[in-house]
Structure formats: structure tokens, C-alpha cells
A and B are shown apart, each in its own frame.
Chain A
Amino acid sequence: MNLRLLLQRLIHLIPVLFGVSVITFSILHLAPGDPVLLMVPAQATQEEVERVRHNLGLDQPLPVQYMSWIGNALRGDLGTSLFASQPVMDLVLERFPATVLLTAAALGFALLVGVSLGLVASLRRDTVLDRVTMVMSVMGWSMPPFWIGLMLIIFFAVQLRWLPTGGMFSLSAMKPTAPDVAKHLILPAFTLGVRHMCYVARLTRSSMLEVLGEDYVRTARSKGLKERVVVIRHALRNALIPVVTVAGVSVGRLLGGAVVVETVFGWPGLGRLTVTGILERDFPLVQGTILFAATTFVIVNFLVDLLYAWLDPRIRYT
């Protein structure tokens, strides 16, 4: 892909992000619910309510509020959280690494296990192994993540006491260590990733079955190549193209799913911060976190587009 085209595609991201900012801002401000009323004590008078509203700049017309917010956002300032009284950017950057870790672990798990299961199922088509894998994947896809999470906590943390119930590291540890964090990551990453893993398994299986019937696979076999080479180099690489597409979209789903999983497991990520912001009508916080997450999602999809070209020599951006 040449540089000019790369730039062109990057420029295309701008209207997308502008749309996200407008929608986020409007939905929040047009939704019923007044942060000032949630902030002041029950006995506050109307005058005090208005004073707080003025202090927070919430008495300005909406377009003025939007322009001021977007102008600052372009300079990297997402405003100040109404409740935490801290810069939103600081709060987001504090929480973002935890969400990235959780999402990456969940995605890694989903792809690794999902592709392996799908591959095995396709190669052992119509055997018991294939049936069991596919039934399990339907079940995994159908179970709500918060329920899976709670069941895992009850079984592995409360009954067996093998793993912690939540959090990102042991509270008593003064400094978090990698093994400690890894131990805390197992249950939330599994919970977040299990549905995607099931989906990837089914997708890999069907995609592989399709590819295995293609002429070039037959050609590869007739050349006398080893079955392993045929499957891995010739079939799987092509079968993975839809999986890669799904993985890109999955990042968005995982970021969304992280909201639930982070809440259940007390994982200190962006999702939990957003939920708190929504419940308290903390406009700058929610706008900031959503804009940030949307930007991440858009960039990931951009990178996935680039990855196609590498995976499939037929695709060339010109």
C-alpha cells in the first residue's frame, strides 16, 4: 500500500470519529437525568442547584458546550470529571492499560483456542469430536458472560479457592507482580473470551471445510505435499481471512463486553469507569471514555485492513 493511500484512509477516520463525538454528546445530554441533582444533597435549594450548574458550565447552550468540549478534546483535554473532579484524560489513561490487558488476553485466548478447536473439528468432520466441539461452542456462545463469570467465581474462587474472586492483584501485595496479575487475569479473560472463542471455532471450522474443497488444496495434495503442510500453509492461511475480519470486529465487542466482565470481577478498567459515569450522568467522563474507546476501535480496524494484504496475496490496495 502506498503512503498516499494510507493517508487517505487515515483521513477517512476523521468523519467517523466526528460522528462518534456528536452522537455521544447528544445522547448523553438529551437523555433524561441531571448530574447536578445527583450531586447536591436532597435538601439543596433551587438556588444552590443553579449555582452548582453554573460552576460546572452546564447552564451553557448545548452547541456551546459541544464546541468547547471538542475543541479541548482535539488538544488532548477531555475535560474534568464532574464527580471525581479529576481530568478525564488522567482517569482514562489510568484505567486503559487494565482494559487493554484484559481484552488482549481474552482475544488471544479466543483466537488460539478457537482456531485450534475449529481446525481439529474440520479435520475430524462428522466424528464425535466434531459434534462435541460444535455443541459446546453453541452452548458457550449462548451463555451470558456475567453468569459464566459468577459461576466461575463460585466454583474456582469460593469452593476450590484456587483463584482470586476479583481485582487485578492481591490487596496485601505492596507491588503487583506479573504472576500475581496473571493469576487474577485467568477468570476474567476466560469469561470475556469464551463467547468469541466459540464463534471463532465455528467460523474456522466452516471456513476450513470450504477451503479444503478448493482446487488449489487438491493441487497441493496431488503435488505430494505432506498433509500438515497442505493444511497449515495452504488451507489454514486462507481460511483465516474471515477469522481476522471477525477478530477486528471482536475488539469492539470485547471492549463492550469488558464493561460487564470488569464489573463482575472488579477489574479496574475503562468499562467500569464508563458504567459509573453513565449512572452518575458524569457527561465529560462518559464522553471521554467512549471517544477514547471508539478511537481505539477505529484504529484497530484500520490495522486489520492492513493485515488482510499480508494474509492474502490476492488483496492489494492500489
Chain B
Amino acid sequence: MNVQKKRLTRRDFLRYAGLAAGATALSACAAPTPVVVETEKVVEKAVPQTVVVEKAVPQTVVVEKEKVVTATPVPIKKDTPIIIATPTEDAGLFLPLTHVDFPGYFLNRALLCYDFKGGTYDVVPSLAKSYEVLDNGLRYRLHLRDDAYYHGGGKYEAEHSKWYIEMEMKDDHPYHHLAVRGQSRASNVDHVEAVDKTTLDIYLKAVFPAEPDWLTSWHEWAPHNPETIKKLEKEIANHPDGLGPYKLLEWQKGSRLILEKHDKYWDPNEGLASQLIFRPVTEVQARIAALEAGEIHWMGDVPVDEALRLATNPELRVAQQKTLWVWFIHFDTRKKPLDDVRVRQALNYAVDKETLIKDVLRGAAVRSYSPLSPQFGPYYAGNVVRHYDYDPQKAKDLLAEAGYPNGFDEIDGQPAILYGYSGRMGSGKPAPMLEFIQAQWKAVGVNVKIEMSDFASFEAKRQAGDFPMAMRGWTPSSADPDGVLSQNFHKNFLPPEGRNVCWLDDAEVNTLLDTAMSTIDMPKRIQAMLDAQKRIVDLAPWLFVMHEVAFEAYNAKLQDYVAWPGGRAAGMVYAWLKV
């Protein structure tokens, strides 16, 4: 048979190219297959080492939790520096009472500390070996270590903590001007007394059961040597003299910040690696590339899609933590029709939270039933509050009952706008999430427009109470539930003083939160917090959506690293590199 080789004509070429382009376009248009349907599967697959332990019940009156220091000496495995990528520009600021970024967890030690080794929010000893709650909760007596030394060699004593706390509290303190960024965690302190070198009494103005959590803060309660502050004044920002397991060796701004082991640190189990090097890499894809290339050993805030991919790389490990974070949409309960509880409940019933988490967030979240995430342990109310399971018919019925049988598209006579922000970490995927919610509300007749802005503009408007409805991610600055509940729902926090931007002023909620914040009887406090959440969820001032699951990725050579739910590589004090 005479077989003639057919020549590829220009027309054939164009035909094949068209077919190929069409196929590519079709495959691109196909619905993305979620890789993970259940969050738990991620844990098993990606993070064999991660232990998620929920917060234990706080102790009531006297806590004598001594950190057990093992008798066997820790083998020295310290020669290789660990390189940590930070998403923030300068990888740290050390001015007293300022916000402390990543390096603060290694340079400073507060009076108490969260349990980085256990990867939980349990409060454990730090500068204070133990504490007592006296005078019915009005006085905290802290028994301090006598073996804590500053990086410069000075010995720490109770008087230093008093001086440091008063630096913020007292306007006439000679170094008060250094505490420019007022922090509020000393605002409930009446006065401080150094009883002797190792005993510190903190007198409160009123009972404040969240005090132990607040004493873990790196701001007011993590002193730097007063003598060094007096000598250097503002320059202390470049030459911190703290008490943590690592001290500053070199800081080339924008390039690297090197910490080295502090030899006089009290706990030989902390600070195993000889050096920690922080490298600022602001772009997330660049951080991932650096991790894959082996240039860095750890990074946080890994987007879920990337986390799933990185988990298949044998040279890397991916850890996930369930966080305190809550993502919600808040409603201004004064504005029509959001002033009607049935409308707010309808908006909750209209959204399929499970599908949103599965499809938009690819499973990287936990559904939110109340403002508090399961990480709040005994305060978690997911099992006792009303569940707004997806029920569009019920949503329509409630809207009809409230006088809106066809839904609504205006709030207080203005077009209904759902405000959001982008470009801030820990906010899920704001735009697609808002679009999902917008579509589901539309299905029950509620038409809203979405308006996005950057976080700074958004927060200024939100604080002014300008938004009838807006998204927000919220994480409290301590693991006490008060940081979520009172801040967002108590009448004392109405704008402009506070951030209760749903303008909720409910007598029952106020009383329950007052009870919870004025007792040191823990069972009573927990019950009040649970009851407050029940009432808040019934009132539906938020659309309750999700609690974020955060991902970290690190080099497989990193040993003994425990991911802490607060992130920021805090567990790195126990880690070392196997080479």
C-alpha cells in the first residue's frame, strides 16, 4: 500500500491549536475539586506531629504550677542556626511597651507564659515560678525566680518589674515618654509593690479574673533592664536587654536579624539552637520558594492550597493549628431592617457555612457556632447555643414574618453594602467568601453590594461605627474569652470608646458578662460566659461563619518543634536542626 505521509497544512495547524486552546479553557472553567473535604484529614495527612490541645480549665485561687525541669542534661545540638522567615518588614521592634513581633518571643520573658512546649494556651510559670490570688482577687502575689539574668548580665529582681510597670502607668515616671504606645493591660492595676527581691504584689483596682492571661503579655510584663533603659533611652530599641533565652547579636534592617543563645538563661531546655536568624520576606510566594529551596527553615501563614502541596514534599513538614480567630459579619443592630432579630437570624440561616468552608476555604476552617472558638476550652459554647444550620426556607419565613417577604436591598434607606478588607493575614479569602455569602443572601431575596478597602481605611471607618454590615476577623490579644465577648457585645464598649460596632446593648448580656468579669469563682464564671454566648447567638448580631485553621511549614530537619496555636514560631525555643 502506498502510504503517503500527510503534510501538516496551515489549516490543520490552526485547527489543532484551536482544539487545544478550547480543551485548556474548558478544563480551566471546570469547578475546582476541593482536595480536602474534612479538616481532620489534613491533620492526619499533613501534620503527624501536631498536637492540638484545648485550653484547660483555669485554676481558681492558688496556682502552684512549677515547670518541671528534667534532671538529665539536654544534649547539645546547637551548631546550625535556624532561619525563620517573617512576613513583616523589620522582623521586630524592641522599644519598651511596643508591639513585639516574632523576635520578642525569644528575647523577652514575661511574668507568666503560655505553654509553648505543649502547644496550648495554658498559663505556665515564667519569670514568676508561681502565684497566689489574695484579697478576694484584688491582689496577685508573684513568687519570682532568683536565677534570671538580663542579656547584659544584670540580675533580675522584683523591683525591676515594679519600675517597668510604673513606666507605663505613671505620667510622672521619668521614662514614661518611652511608653508612647499606651497599652491597656496595666490599666486595671492600682499599684505594684516589690515585697522583697523575689516577691511582687500587683494590686488591682477591681477583681479581674483574666489577670493571669494578661500577665503573659510581652509588653508590660516582660521587663528590660532598667539600668540599660536609663542609659540608652530610645536607643534601647536597637539594643534590647531582656530576659529571654536568646539575645540580639546583629540587626541589619530589612535583611536579617540574628539572635544568639543567652548562656545565663535559667532553663537549659530552652534555646537549643545556637542562633535564630530572622529574614523578612513580605511576599508569601517568595517565602514558599525560599522554603522549598532550603534557604529558610520555617514560615507561617501558609495559604491552604500551598499547604496541601507542600505537605507532599518529603523535605518539608506542614503543621496546622486551630486558632482563637473568629471570622464574622457584624450587623448594626440599630439600623432597619437589621434592628429586627428575625432578620438577623434569617441572614444566619440563609448561609451554608459548611459548603463555604469546604469549597471556598478548602476545609481550612472550623465552623463558628458562637463567637468563641473551640480553643477556648471550657468556655466554648458550640454544643449549647442555637445552631443556624443552612435552611433557606426558614430564612425566607423569618424575613416574611419580619415584614420582608421579598427580602430587602436597602438598610436605613441606603443601598445595602457589605464592607470588607483585603491584604491582611488571617482573614481567610475575604473576596470569595463575601461573594459566596452575597449569592446565598440573594437566593432569599437580600441583595447587597460588596465594597472592599485596605485594612487601615476599613478599620478607621469601622471604629467610627460607619458600617451597617461588614466582615471582620478578630483574635483577642490574650486567650481569655473576655477579649472577644465584652469587647464586641458589652454596652461599655459601644463606639466611639469601644469596638462593639453592632451596637448591642442587651441587659441580659451585659449582666452575664459583668458577672463573668467580676468573679474568681471559675465554675460560676464559665457558666456566665456560656449563658452570655447563648443569649448573644439568639440575638444574632453577627453572621457566625468560621474559626480559622492556620498552617505553618518547615524543613523536615527541624527537630522537636511544636507548633503553638498563636503562631510566630514560639515553639522554636525547643527546636534544633539535624544536619
From A31, A165, A263, contact of B290 by CB (8 A):
A165
Query: CB-CB contacts of A164-204 with B at 8 A, as 1s and 0s?
Result: 11111101100000000000000000000000000000000
Answer yes or no: B90 CB below 8 A from chain A CBs: yes
**In the complex, which residues of chain B have a beta carbon less than 8 angstroms from the beta carbon of A263?**
282-283, 286
Answer yes or no: A33 CB below 8 A from chain B CBs: yes
The smallest beta-carbon distance between A8 and chain B, in angstroms, is 39
Q: Which residue of B lies closest to A277 (CB)?
A: B89
**In the complex, which residues of chain B have a beta carbon less than 8 angstroms from the beta carbon of A33?**
454, 456-457, 459-460
Check if B286 sits within 8 Å of A150, measured CB to CB: yes
The smallest beta-carbon distance between A135 and chain B, in angstroms, is 17
The smallest beta-carbon distance between A289 and chain B, in angstroms, is 12
From B95, B256, B281, B290, contact of A85 by CB (8 A):
B95
Check if A272 sits within 8 Å of B457, measured CB to CB: no
**In the complex, which residues of chain A have a beta carbon less than 8 angstroms from the beta carbon of B141?**
none
Answer yes or no: B312 CB below 8 A from chain A CBs: no
Q: Which residue of A lies closest to B466 (CB)?
A: A32
Answer yes or no: B435 CB below 8 A from chain A CBs: no
Check if B456 sits within 8 Å of A48, measured CB to CB: no
Among B185, B285, B455, B456, the most chain A Cβ lie within 10 Å of the Cβ of B456
Check if A85 sits within 8 Å of B459, measured CB to CB: no
Check if B286 sits within 8 Å of A165, measured CB to CB: yes
**In the complex, which residues of chain A have a beta carbon less than 8 angstroms from the beta carbon of B474?**
42
The smallest beta-carbon distance between A270 and chain B, in angstroms, is 10
The smallest beta-carbon distance between B81 and chain A, in angstroms, is 7
Answer yes or no: B237 CB below 8 A from chain A CBs: yes
Total A residues in contact with B, Cβ cutoff 8 Å: 56
Check if A41 sits within 8 Å of B187, measured CB to CB: no
Answer yes or no: A241 CB below 8 A from chain B CBs: no
Answer yes or no: A44 CB below 8 A from chain B CBs: yes
Expressed in whole angstroms, the Cα–Cα distance for A46 and B493 within the complex equals: 10
Which stretch from A91-99, A212-220, A243-251, A300-308 is at the chain B interface?
A91-99
Expressed in whole angstroms, the Cα–Cα distance for A34 and B499 within the complex equals: 15
Give the dominant DSSP class at B's interface: loop
Check if B279 sits within 8 Å of A171, measured CB to CB: yes
Answer yes or no: B254 CB below 8 A from chain A CBs: yes
Answer yes or no: B559 CB below 8 A from chain A CBs: no
The smallest beta-carbon distance between A154 and chain B, in angstroms, is 6
From B98, B183, B187, B289, contact of A153 by CB (8 A):
B289
From A37, A91, A265, contact of B463 by CB (8 A):
A37
Expressed in whole angstroms, the Cα–Cα distance for A56 and B293 within the complex equals: 43
Check if B285 sits within 8 Å of A34, measured CB to CB: no
**In the complex, which residues of chain A have a beta carbon less than 8 angstroms from the beta carbon of B280?**
266, 268
Known: A43-B477, A266-B282, A268-B253. A32 touches B81 (CB 8 A): no
Answer yes or no: B191 CB below 8 A from chain A CBs: no
Expressed in whole angstroms, the Cα–Cα distance for A91 and B238 within the complex equals: 13
Expressed in whole angstroms, the Cα–Cα distance for A86 and B98 within the complex equals: 13
Answer yes or no: B277 CB below 8 A from chain A CBs: yes
Expressed in whole angstroms, the Cα–Cα distance for A263 and B283 within the complex equals: 6
The smallest beta-carbon distance between A57 and chain B, in angstroms, is 11
Interface residue ranges, A against B (CB under 8 Å): 31-35, 37-46, 48, 51-52, 55-56, 83-86, 91, 94-95, 98, 146, 150, 153-154, 157-158, 161, 164-169, 171-172, 263-266, 268-269, 272-273, 275-276, 279-281
5 A-B interface contacts by CB (under 8 A) = A32-B460, A42-B499, A84-B237, A161-B293, A165-B289
Interface residue ranges, B against A (CB under 8 Å): 81, 83, 88-90, 93, 95, 98-99, 177, 180-185, 187, 234, 237-238, 252-256, 277, 279-283, 285-286, 289-290, 292-293, 295, 423, 453-457, 459-461, 463, 474, 476-477, 483, 487, 496-499
